[in-house]
Amino acid sequence: MVQSIRRGMSKQRRQSEDQPGHSGTKQKKSLYLVLDDWHKGFIIRKIDADSPDLSGPPVLRLLSPERGHAMRFAALGSNVIATSNIHAGTLFYDRDTARLSIGPPVPNALLGGSNTFLTSGAGDALFAFAFHLMERPVSFETMTRPPTTGDDDLLPTDWSWKSMPTPFTKDGMIFSYALHPDGRTIFVSS
């Protein structure tokens, strides 16, 4: 009986019901876009994939710590991470809860440099390369979340930064990069 009912269903519905944990409802897709189009800082906009209307208010306005100094942003899991290269704060904007939290301080090695961020495919690590324009060696830092326990309610302050061996000399600078699908290998050209 089940087979005859399944045959009468559309192929798409059959495939979605075959997937564990799928309720059959289409999940709405959206894009979070960080823009430097506010004279005092940055805004984060949520754009619906089916209707790219930008007339609504931004989901977050983020005041820049200092005019003329760049901030860096990265998507990591359900978070948009924001850092500055002159102040030690790491901010986490959680898309799911619309909550802004303070994470671990940015390491000194990333302050004052031109920073490049990469995120792991699993959403559990942020990799940062800092180039200091021949003042000091390139630094390679990673911010990771602690191993999950039974409590999945981790706070951004539970994450931590760690220094990694630098793959470049003092004069090395990254021009392009890619993360391998295994989430552990980074390809860079300098």
pLDDT of residue 122: 67
What is the separation, in whole angstroms, between the first and last Cα of the chain?
62
* Residue 86, both tokens: 């002159």
pLDDT of residue 169: 61
pLDDT of residue 9: 38
pLDDT of residue 170: 56
Q: DSSP string covering 15-58, please?
A: HHHHSTT--SPPPPPEEEEEEEEETTEEEEEEEETTB----SPP
How far apart (Å, rounded) are the C-alpha atoms in residues 101 and 121? 22
- For 64, which DSSP code? -
pLDDT of residue 114: 76
Cα–Cα distances (Å) from 144 to 53, 125, 137, 177, 189, in that order, read 35, 4, 23, 20, 24
**Mean pLDDT per 10-residue segment, the chain (190 residues):** 31 45 64 81 86 82 75 86 81 90 86 76 77 72 77 72 76 71 74
Provide the pairing of β-strand 71-76 with 176-179.
unpaired
Question: For residues 164, 106, 169 and 173, what is the CA-based torsion angle, rounded to 10 degrees?
Answer: 120
pLDDT of residue 68: 64
Q: Is the dihedral of CA 108, 111, 112, 114 positive or negative?
A: positive
pTM of the model: 0.71
pLDDT of residue 124: 78
pLDDT of residue 78: 85
pLDDT of residue 158: 81
List the alpha helices (DSSP H) in the chain. 2-8, 11-18
pLDDT of residue 25: 60
